Amino acid sequence: MTPLLEIKSACRYFGGLHAVEDFSGHVKRGERVGLIGPNGAGKTTLFNLITCFTPLSSGAVFFDDTDISSLKAYRVARLGIARTFQNLRVMPNLSVFDNVSIGALGALGHSPFAALTKRANYANDIGRRTWDALEQTGLQDQASELAANLSYGKRKYLEIARALALSPRLLILDEPAAGLNDTETAQLAEFVLRLSGEGLSILLVEHDMNFVMSLCERVMVMASGRKIADGSPQEVSNDPVVLEAYLGSEEEAA
Amino acid sequence: MRRLISISILLLAVLLVLPGVLSAVGGGYWFRVTTTIGVFSILTMSANLITGTTGLMSLGHAGFYGIGAYTTALLATKLHWPFFLTLPVAGVVTAVFGILLALPTMRLIGIYFAVATLGLGEIIHVTLLNWVDFTRGPMGISAIPGISLDGLFSASDITNYYAVAIIALLAALVLGRLTHSYYGNALRAVREDDQCAASMGLNVVGLKIQSFAFACFFAGVAGGLWAHTTGYISPGDFRFSESILILAMMVVGGLGSIPGAVLGAVILLGLPEVLRPIGDYRMIVVGAVMFFSILFLPRGLLGETSVLSVVRRQFGLAWDRTLNLGWRQ
Amino acid sequence: MFDVFFVQQLVNGLSIGLIYALMAIGFTLIFGVLNVVNFAHGEVYMIGAFAGLLAITQLAPPLFAVILVALAFGALAGFGLERIAFRPFRRFRDEASLKSKAIREATLLSSLAVSIIVRELAEKIFGSNMQSIPQEYLLLKPIEIGPLSFANGQFLIFGLSIVMLGGLQWLLKHTRVGLSIRAVANNPMGAAYVGINTERTIIATFVIGSTLGAIAGLIVGLYQGAIFPAMGFAPGVKAFVAMVMGGLSSIGGAVVCALILGMAEAITTSFFAQGWGDLVAYLFLVITLVFFPTGLFGGGRERV
């Protein structure tokens, strides 16, 4: 069986800067994959390429055997790739419920005529999906709260809830544990594990190595836009190339 | 049940109480003032869909209003079409123009969109002013037949009032459903963060175009009503300053709020009429009211509320937020 | 192919273009520092013209003094404008909010509101019609060079614009104020950290930009013989177009585009009726925004 997500020698140049260069990799169905690398390695750019936020300079991305490289971002989301953002992008002026309903709207489509004719089934479906996602993330009690009033930790869950309302097959998390304390990080890891248990494939960027090592089945390492290692957490953490990328070579350190 | 009560209060007020009061205070003139307020309410409600809900600041709404007015005026004077044909056609023509003109500008955000719509509005105004063969230029079009139907009713101030009132109610209904529904949530998501909305599967460009099309449709209908009720239009009615007036009404009433739009129209058009000495300084009042509401009431008088919730609140039917999550359609 | 009429039109276009350039610089400076559009810039132009006119009718001083009066009033108008329409909305000092979307839209509306108030007040005081200007101050004395005929105003426009553009370059490159302006435009937080008084720099930017606008207003008023309260709107929009075409924060780009715009307009009006001339600017505006969102000369810019 082909992997759910397959990246084939993806390249992205910004002028002379090679943000992502010849990156190949994949995520299998139900797999939890971590993507690590020093700052500025091109991880977020790679995420933007996968979700078609930024067009590829060359290469291709396949999702479930369909070439998504030239699709618009919203089409990719509807195919089943949902993401969260590194710098939280909740909509502060909308309620928690309305925030999450955006994901459900993305999945079920939005038509002005449904609103005009008051199609009841449609509204119920969106409502149900939204509540499901809220319950999954434990936000149901704050549903009527404005998103701006949530704590930082809760906002992280709000972003995940919004992504879950899309009913994705692949969930992409950009630094989910950043800014969380140890207890919160542990809770988040447990939560992600539960999602994965329900069959969701997960690709995440994270700087917290404990989080990545305990959670992910496989880790890809990026440095200067290239993939430098790919393997189980143990393999990767003992790889001299990876250590060098993180710590710098002897001469540089001296 | 509550819903039914609120709706009947609203209908009663607009269709019986208000005309009653207006004829009691002396009819004619006040009917015309109210009709103008009604037309601007429709305009402001429609502009609100783009600016308040979808978050695209439009500075060219008067241009689309002008397209609707000229379409109606030309159809009514040249082809002698009756109002029940001219108004919807004006709406559709304006919506088509709106889409065609706005299509290329949909990629723009924030002030760039605002300025592009200013340009579009002025292009329309300059065209109306200079295409003399078609629009009669600065002379304008006069003797536009009023709203009448043989054997049923003839053109009069009261007919005009009811035509405007009924269409304003319809516009409030349609725009209210678009705004206060899951579809409205999608539009608000575009306003709050368009990139994030796209990554959640919303077709941002499609939503922008749809909201623009609906807004232009009602702007066109409002233009048609203006042409029929006043009988005379000229390019001066559709200048940039009218776009600003519409914007000011929106800002005062509350961006994204439909009753706010009506309230804004009442305040900015009604006050100068009631307080005579202010009348001469109308645009100054508009500017001042706009300035102070941005400074002190950034959410406007009513914020993002629906018509019915305002009526309900007035009658003490406080509403439980948790019961009202999601939209019952 | 030497067509006298055509050359004449080009020269007329060039002088109008220089005026747009003077206004566009004001826009560009303010946009550079605050990332906001100052909708009241056209009113500063009008204030300059009216200040000059008042000086002429009350005191009848020499032209040089009239220009100084316009200059002073322009500076004053810029200062007041910043205080009233922009300062109250800068409640937070960090960079994110200093150039945030909310502030941009709030000040867009507030400067629009101020511009309406100022224009309407001027209409209440002076009436909305064109003011009569004493004959001896009109800059319309013909000067013949070969087959070409120029007005003396055109020479004044050329001379003054070049002096002011040069002066501005010198100011920005070699004075403390100019350096602060460039620093704040580049990075307001960084500028604040190295001890530049951001507030004062912002005021200085408004004052300099408004001075240029006010002088432009006065000269155009005298050259076209048309001083009226709504005179600032059209040049304001055109200067804005020039700024957008030039890439928003490039003064050189704005000047070049203002000249292109002025000439394009002059050429259009020589082929079509006068009224269609305005259409050119608006078409340029929409086309530039749509097809060259980073301005005609490229250059980086955040997402439009």
Whether residue A129 contacts residue B201, with contact meaning beta carbons closer than 8 Å, is answered with no
Q: What is the pLDDT of residue B223?
A: 92
pLDDT band at C107 (very low <50, low <70, confident <90, very high): confident
C120 touches chain B (CB under 8 A): yes
Question: Hey, where are the domains in chain A?
Answer: 5-80+168-253, 90-154
Q: Across the interface, which of C117, C119, C304 has its CB nearest the CB of B108?
A: C304
pLDDT band at C256 (very low <50, low <70, confident <90, very high): confident
At residue A184, does pLDDT exceed 80? yes
Record: contact A53-B195, CB cut-off 8 A: yes
CB < 8 Å to A82, chain B: 199-200
Angle between helices C63-81 and C41-59 (to 10 degrees): 140
Record: contact C37-B115, CB cut-off 8 A: yes
Q: Which residue of B has its CA nearest to A110?
A: B183
Pick the more confident residue, A99 or B107: A99
CB < 8 Å to B129, chain C: 275
B323 touches chain A (CB under 8 A): no
Q: What is the pLDDT of residue B91?
A: 92
Over residues A130-155, the mean pLDDT reads: 84
Whether residue C76 contacts residue C152, with contact meaning beta carbons closer than 8 Å, is answered with no
Over residues B234-259, the mean pLDDT reads: 84
The residue among B50, B48, B62, B58 whose CA lies nearest residue B259 is: B48
CA dist C181 and C158 (Å) reads 26
Contacts 24+ apart (CB under 8 A), B17-25: B18/B165, B19/B158, B19/B161, B19/B162, B19/B165, B22/B161, B23/B158
Pick the more confident residue, C41 or C8: C41
Record: contact C279-B115, CB cut-off 8 A: no
Record: contact C109-B251, CB cut-off 8 A: yes
Pick the more confident residue, B26 or C218: C218
CA dist B90 and B78 (Å) reads 14
At residue A91, does pLDDT exceed 90? no
The residue among A69, A28, A77, A29 whose CA lies nearest residue A199 is: A29
B182 touches chain A (CB under 8 A): yes
Q: What is the pLDDT of residue A252?
A: 44
Record: contact B200-A116, CB cut-off 8 A: no
Q: Shortest Cα distance from B326 to chain A (angstroms)?
A: 6
Q: b/e per residue, C142-172, with b = 16+ CB within 10 A?
A: eeeeeeeebbebbebbeebbeebbeebeebb
Q: Shortest Cα distance from A106 to chain B (angstroms)?
A: 4
C125 touches chain B (CB under 8 A): no
Helix, strand, coil percent values for chain A (each to nearest 5): 45, 25, 30
CA dist B299 and C256 (Å) reads 41
Q: What is the pLDDT of residue B328?
A: 54
Over residues B122-148, the mean pLDDT reads: 82
Record: contact B294-C37, CB cut-off 8 A: no
CATH of A5-80+168-253 given 3.65.10.10, 3.30.360.10, 3.40.50.300, 3.50.50.60: 3.40.50.300
Instruction: Please name each of the domains of chain B with its CATH number.
Output: 2-318 (1.10.3470)
Record: contact B200-A105, CB cut-off 8 A: yes
CB < 8 Å to C97, chain B: none
By three-state DSSP, how is residue C62 classified?
Answer: coil
Q: What is the pLDDT of residue B40?
A: 92
CA dist B264 and B250 (Å) reads 6
Q: What is the mean pLDDT of chain B?
A: 80
B176-203 tens-digit pLDDT: 888 888 888 888 888 888 888 888 888 8
Max distance between CA atoms of chain B, in angstroms, equals: 59
Q: Which residue of A has its CA nearest to B176?
A: A116
The residue among C184, C156, C181, C159 whose CA lies nearest residue C170 is: C181
Residue of B54, B106, B120, B123 to mutate, interface with C, max C Cβ within 10 Å: B123
At residue A224, does pLDDT exceed 50? yes
CA dist B220 and B64 (Å) reads 6
The string of DSSP letters for B225-260 reads: HHHHHHS-B-GGGGSHHHHHHHHHHHHHH-TT-HHH
Record: contact C88-B295, CB cut-off 8 A: yes
B28 touches chain C (CB under 8 A): no
The string of DSSP letters for B272-285 reads: HHHSHHHHTTHHHH
Max distance between CA atoms of chain A, in angstroms, equals: 71
* Residues within 8 A of A (CB atoms), B 292-321 only: 321
> If residue A222 lies in a helix (H) or strand (E), which one and from where to where?
strand A218-223
A171 touches chain B (CB under 8 A): no
Q: Shortest Cα distance from B217 to chain A (angstroms)?
A: 14
Over residues A36-56, the mean pLDDT reads: 85
Record: contact A112-B214, CB cut-off 8 A: yes
Q: Across the interface, which of A51, A94, A104 has its CB nearest the CB of B188?
A: A94
At residue B147, does pLDDT exceed 60? yes
Find the distance separating the first CA and the last CA of chain C, reported in whole Å: 42
Q: What residue type is C140 in one-letter code?
A: L
Q: What is the pLDDT of residue B46?
A: 93
Record: contact B291-C285, CB cut-off 8 A: no
B205-220 tens-digit pLDDT: 889 999 999 999 999 9
pLDDT band at C91 (very low <50, low <70, confident <90, very high): low
Q: Which of B69-73, C5-9, C98-102 has the lowest mean pLDDT?
A: C98-102
The residue among B238, B218, B35, B43 whose CA lies nearest residue B140 is: B238
> If residue A81 lies in a helix (H) or strand (E), which one and from where to where?
strand A81-83
Residue of B185, B217, B306, B323 to mutate, interface with A, max A Cβ within 10 Å: B185
Q: Shortest Cα distance from B178 to chain C (angstroms)?
A: 24
CA dist B37 and B229 (Å) reads 12
CB proximity list for A123: less than 8 A, separation 6 or greater: A114, B181, B182, B326, B327, B328, B329
CB pairs under 8 A between B and C: 113
Its pTM stands at 0.84
Neighbours of A120 (CB within 10 A): 11
At residue A121, φ and ψ (nearest 5 deg) are: -55, -45
C286 touches chain B (CB under 8 A): yes
Record: contact C304-B109, CB cut-off 8 A: yes
By three-state DSSP, how is residue C221 classified?
Answer: helix
Q: b/e per residue, B288-320, with b = 16+ CB within 10 A?
A: bbbbebbbeeeebbbebbbbbbbbbeeeeeeee
Record: contact C112-B240, CB cut-off 8 A: no
Q: Which residue of B has its CA nearest to C121?
A: B284
B56 touches chain C (CB under 8 A): no
CB pairs under 8 A between A and B: 119
Record: contact B326-A120, CB cut-off 8 A: no
Please give the C-alpha separations between residue A128 and each of A100, A116, A121, A143, C181, in angstroms, as whole numbers: 11, 20, 10, 13, 55
CB < 8 Å to A53, chain B: 195, 198-199
CB < 8 Å to B110, chain C: 101, 104-105, 304
* Whole-angstrom Cα Rg for chain B: 19
Q: What angle do CA C103, C105, C109 make, to 5 degrees?
A: 115
Over residues B294-299, the mean pLDDT reads: 74
Q: Which two tokens stand for residue C133?
A: 């200007």
C37 touches chain B (CB under 8 A): yes
CA dist B305 and B258 (Å) reads 7
Place of tokens 């939560």: A191
Over residues A188-198, the mean pLDDT reads: 88
At residue B104, does pLDDT exceed 70? yes
The string of DSSP letters for B99-164 reads: HHHHGGGGG--HHHHHHHHHHHHHHHHHHHHH-HHHH-GGG-B-----S-BTTTB-SSHHHHHHHH
* Residues within 8 A of A (CB atoms), B 145-174 only: 174
At residue A253, does pLDDT exceed 70? no
Whether residue A96 contacts residue A147, with contact meaning beta carbons closer than 8 Å, is answered with yes
CA dist C236 and C244 (Å) reads 12
B184 touches chain A (CB under 8 A): yes
CB < 8 Å to B290, chain C: 109, 112-113, 116
Q: What is the pLDDT of residue B41?
A: 92
At residue A9, φ and ψ (nearest 5 deg) are: 35, 60
Q: What is the pLDDT of residue B45?
A: 92
Over residues A111-126, the mean pLDDT reads: 78
pLDDT band at B276 (very low <50, low <70, confident <90, very high): low
Does ipTM come in above 0.90? no
Q: Across the interface, which of B193, B203, B204 has its CB nearest the CB of A89?
A: B193
CA dist A208 and B224 (Å) reads 63
At residue B53, does pLDDT exceed 50? yes
CA dist B10 and A110 (Å) reads 29
At residue A200, does pLDDT exceed 50? yes
**Bridge partners, A226 (sequence order):** A223
DSSP A145: S
Q: Shortest Cα distance from C67 to chain B (angstroms)?
A: 29
Record: contact B107-C283, CB cut-off 8 A: no
> If residue A172 lies in a helix (H) or strand (E), which one and from where to where?
strand A170-174
Choose from A14-18, B226-230, B257-261 the range with maximum mean pLDDT.
Answer: B226-230
Record: contact C279-B108, CB cut-off 8 A: no
pLDDT band at B95 (very low <50, low <70, confident <90, very high): very high
* Residues within 8 A of B (CB atoms), C 140-199 only: none
